[in-house]
Structure 1
Amino acid sequence: MKSVINFLQQLQANNNREWFHAHKEEYKAAQSRFHAFAETMIAQIAQFDPTVAGLTAKDVTYRIQRDTRFSADKRPYKGHMGLFIARGGKKSGYSGYYFQLGADQNAADFGGIHWESQHIIAPGHYCIEPKALRILREDIMDGEGDFDKLVREIADTRFQLLHFNELKRNPKGFPADAPWSEYLRLKSFCLAFAPTTEEVTAADFPERLAQYFSTTTPFLNYINRAIDFAREEE
């Protein structure tokens, strides 16, 4: 993993197309190393979450190119390589296990995490389809604290439930005094923490990452249950 981080650091210091094309072979080597790591993680996660069995690196990894169409930041390349291991792959719409290897450990954007270039472990779902989000909120409101119990159990680990881009008041159709309103106002349901470079470059990191992820499977299952129900109603 050190070689991948080294490449990302060089790319961030020379974030332009000319440098990238001149170092295309170095990129391919770093990409190959990260894809091998992704395959290892699929196998590790499938031991406790068989819904991801059979996925390939292509199913769970992302392009290094940034989408700059709607961003003020026009740098062409990301400061990280990421994977999202979810049932059906990264485009399935299900919640899953996210990890990114970053170029550095710079200061936070929000929640103590700098998403562009930090190492991040972040299982969850960032963009739940509206129908499934409504059902998830109903499950939380009517669940007699079962979701809160999941979050509190996870709080005993290194993960935190991120509160960003959330509503200022309860969504339409949910009373202002609804139980568990702090969760109803969320638009993204994501757990996260930022490991150190020493951790992600350790020889046993794949096993440790799988262990971290395994503690969050009940949280993901809760979200995916709502997604399944929404799709069954279609």
Structure 2
Amino acid sequence: MNTQLILHYLTELSNHNEREWYHAHKAEYREANAEFEALVQDLILKIGKFDSSVLHNQPKDLTFKLVRDTRFSHDKSPYNPAFRAHISSMGKLPVPVGYYLMIKPGGQSFLGGGLFADMFKEATAMVRDYIAANGREWEEILENPDFRKHFTVQGTALKNVPAGYDKEHPQAEFLKYKSWYLEYPLEDAGVADGEEFAEHAASIFRIMKPFNDYLNKALVNFRMPERKK
């Protein structure tokens, strides 16, 4: 797992974010992508030691394309110079939640977990209902010393507790949220040694697991909306 090769390729892509350069350096992309898939495979095996639900996955099914959708963006750069993957029991779908990895040079890499997608109103309601009914379990996860050392729950949120929920609930602040996720930032130096990085990433994901498990219990009956044809 040559993560330095990954960082080098992505740095070059960031500096030459244009279709001509990308197509002229397809060989370098294939090499970097192969190294990233090898890293994802190693993470699947390491995560599988404490979460066997991910072991059936193939790395190529968990990764995201570099191509950006620029239709509604002021930034018309055609590529996102980042290798990304989401490892869960259902692959890279946002639900069930799993273990997210983004390698992006310049100190923009991170490990993530939880529900990032706040556009699924049903999912948001299911998590709010679960927190409202199981607030003590939520509090215990967030108050765990290892969790507190590494994470702060993030997410888009309303200004007020939504209608139908107790404004005096012990977890009222989290009932305002529309998404609940974790981000563990990474400097380039922390990614440069592939073997060490994979070990460290797996240890972070292990600490993250109770948070993911809680959200997945809330989302057990959620079904992804079907795409309109």
Q: In the alignment, which residue of structure 2 is the partner of 1:121?
A: 111
Cα distance in 2, alignment partners of residues 230 and 30 from structure 1: 35
**How far apart are 1:10 and its partner, in Å?**
0.6
* Structure 2: stretches of 5+ with no match in the other structure: 224-229
Cα distance in 1, alignment partners of residues 219 and 80 from structure 2: 30
Runs of 4+ in 1 over 2 A off after TM superposition: 128-133, 154-157, 175-179
Q: In the alignment, which residue of structure 2 is the partner of 1:218?
A: 210
Which one of the candidate residues 102, 123, 137 is aligned to 1:132?
123
Which string of whole-angstrom CA distances, capped at 9 and with x for unpartnered residues, describes residues 133-165 of structure 1?
222212212224210221121543322211x42
Checking the alignment, whether the CA contact within 8 Å between 1:123 and 1:216 is kept in structure 2 is yes
- Bigger drift between 207-216 and 131-140 goes to 131-140
Matches within 5 A, 1:145-224: 145-153=136-144, 154-162=146-154, 164-202=155-193, 203-224=195-216
Matches within 5 A, 1:6-17: 6-17=8-19
Structure 1-normalised TM-score?
0.87
**How far apart are 1:211 and its partner, in Å?**
0.8
Checking the alignment, whether the CA contact within 8 Å between 1:160 and 1:193 is kept in structure 2 is no
Checking the alignment, whether the CA contact within 8 Å between 1:133 and 1:226 is kept in structure 2 is no
Q: What RMSD in Å do the two structures reach over aligned CA positions?
A: 1.6
What is the aligned-residue identity percentage?
30
For 1:225, what is the secondary structure of its paired residue?
A: helix
Of the two structures, which has the highest relative contact order with CA contacts closer than 8 Å and spacing of 6 or more? 2
Amino acid at match of 2:172: S
**How far apart are 1:30 and its partner, in Å?**
0.6
For 1:20, what is the secondary structure of its paired residue?
A: helix
Amino acid at match of 2:141: L
Amino acid at match of 2:28: E
Q: In the alignment, which residue of structure 2 is the partner of 1:21?
A: 23
**How far apart are 1:130 and its partner, in Å?**
2.5
Cα distance in 2, alignment partners of residues 7 and 144 from structure 1: 45
Cα distance in 2, alignment partners of residues 230 and 12 from structure 1: 37
Change (3 A) 1:224 1:22: same
Matched length? 218
Which string of whole-angstrom CA distances, capped at 9 and with x for unpartnered residues, describes residues 25-79 of structure 1?
1111111110111111111111110111110112211101112122221111012
**How far apart are 1:92 and its partner, in Å?**
6.0
